[in-house]
Structures are given as C-alpha cells and as structure tokens.
Amino acid sequence: MEEILKLFSLKDKVAVVTGGAVNIGRGISFKLAAAGAKVAIIYNSSNAQALDISAGLKKSDYEHLLLKADLTKEIEVIDAIRKVAEHFGRIDVLVNNAGVFGLSIQHELAVESWDEIFNLNLKGLFLCSREVLKLMMKQAEGGTIVNIASINGMHPGFGMTAHYDASKGGVIAYTRSLAAEVAPFGIRVNAVAPGLVDSENLRKFAPDLASKVEKRTPLKKLASPEDVANTVLFLVSKAASHITGEIITVDGGYLLT
C-alpha cells in the first residue's frame, strides 16, 4: 500500500495552476495540495473565489501562493512565474487550466470575441508554458505540464461554438507537438479533455443542456471538477511517468454515442 501511495505523492513538488480559484481549477488546486504539492494559484478576475480557496488551503495547512495576473499579457505572465520561482525555488508541475468559453453564430461573431477566446485559451497557455519550460529545462528532474483541453476540440460541439472548438483543437495540437519537443529534457506534456462539467451555474443558466448531455452520456452523469482533478493528479504523478503527448477524455463516454 505504501508503495502505491508513493506513486501519487507530490511531496516537495511545486505546482502552478492557472485559473486555479474556481470550478475545475479549484478542484485541481486542492487535489494537488492534498497530494503534498506546494501550489501556486494564478487568477485574474475571481478575487472573492481566490480569497476563499486561500482560506480553505490555509485551514488544511496546505502551503500555497496566490498570484493575480492577466495571462494574455506577456509581462504579467513573466512576472507571475518569476515570483513563483523566487518563492518556492523551483516549478515541477504546470496545469494550464485558465480558459474562456463563448457562444455565438459565426457569421455574427465579433473579432473581439474571437480574440478573447484565442488570447486566453492559446496565447495564455503558450506564455505560461514558455516561461515554466525555461525553468524545467534546467532542473535535473524535468517536470510535467497538463493542459486542460475539451472534447469540443476533438469533436464538434453543440453549435455556436466553432471559435471555442478551434481554440481547444489548437490546445490538443500544441500539447502533442510540445510533448515531442521537450521529451529529451525529461519533461512530459499531456492534456485532459473534459466533457460538460457539472456546476451550480450550469444547472442554473443551462439546465436543458445539462439534462440533454446527461441523458446522452453512457455513465448517465456529468463530470465533476473532482473527476477532472483526479485525472490531472494521475498525469502529473509517477504513476504516469511513461505517458506523454496523450489526450485523456473525461466525458463519461459521451464521445462514444
């Protein structure tokens, strides 16, 4: 049993989670902290949620760092990653979770909306990866990166999401290409592609969509933030030490239908 637990232990590891204060990111932050990691949470507009998760982590005596940064701005990303490195001395794990969703008929889509999606979902992911890789490539133990993609990047969504789907398709392609590039440095890069993830906001603002997807899903339930967080923990752990360039779907079998 002890050997099994060691496989999933992140003791003495430092993890950065972008968008780590809400929803999926919150679940990931807590999960990695519970596994022993020192967690740096980068957030932007979720001020109240950031303070809330910080209080929760403190209550559990989990070592963490809270940083505010706009990941679409290069200078702020550089500064945030520098602060993490200075505070903890190293970075072993990066979870590129921060992202934005959008609905629009494409012939009515504003350029600003297109840019908003791609600036965070791809540009922000690239900037964070670039800065963290500079550190990981100097570390004897390398590191691991997990990108949060979406099944929409693998299969057309529910309509009105072509711009979002394209951005997540880009995340998947970037993940696979980057994995091959940095493997010689002992750095693994994978992605998790969730289906629709359950939340209070989803049930409140899109109950019909939630019900429709739930009924179509073979497991007859939506993924929870913890389902995604468990998969991330596996991918950054020693249990997945020979896995890189993979896209793991967490959709309850939705893509099978």
> Mean pLDDT for each consecutive 10-residue tract of the chain (257 residues)?
88 97 97 98 95 97 98 98 98 98 92 97 98 96 97 87 96 98 98 95 86 95 97 98 98 96
Looking at this protein, which amino acid is placed at residue 129?
A: S
Distances (CA, A) of 115 to 15, 19, 71, 128: 28, 18, 13, 18
DSSP, res 40: E
What is residue 66's three-state secondary structure? Answer: strand
Helix pair angle (162-182, 125-136), 10° resolution: 10
Long-range (24+ apart) CB contacts under 8 A made by 167-172 are 167/99, 167/117, 167/118, 167/121, 167/122, 168/121, 168/193, 170/118, 170/121, 170/122, 171/96, 171/121, 171/122, 171/125, 171/147, 172/247
User: Which bin fits 93, alpha (ψ -120 to 50), beta or left (φ > 0)?
Assistant: beta
Contact 71, 208 (CB under 8 A): no
Q: How far apart are CA 123 and CA 131, in angstroms?
A: 12
What's the confidence (pLDDT) of residue 103?
86
Beta bridge partners of residue 39, listed in sequence order: 15, 64
Q: What pTM value is reported for the model?
A: 0.97
Looking at this protein, which amino acid is placed at residue 90?
A: R
The token pair that represents 114 in the structure block: 């297109």
Query: What does CATH list as the number for 2-256?
Result: 3.40.50.720
The token pair that represents 91 in the structure block: 């970075």
- Our answer to whether residue 164 is catalytic in this structure is yes
What's the confidence (pLDDT) of residue 1?
67
Domain ranges of the chain: 2-256
Distances (CA, A) of 34 to 60, 76, 98, 132: 9, 28, 21, 22
Q: Which of 43, 62, 164, 254 is catalytic?
A: 164
Q: How far apart are CA 172 and CA 129, in angstroms?
A: 14
What's the confidence (pLDDT) of residue 24?
97
- Give the residue from 88, 109, 113 showing the smallest Cα distance to 10: 88
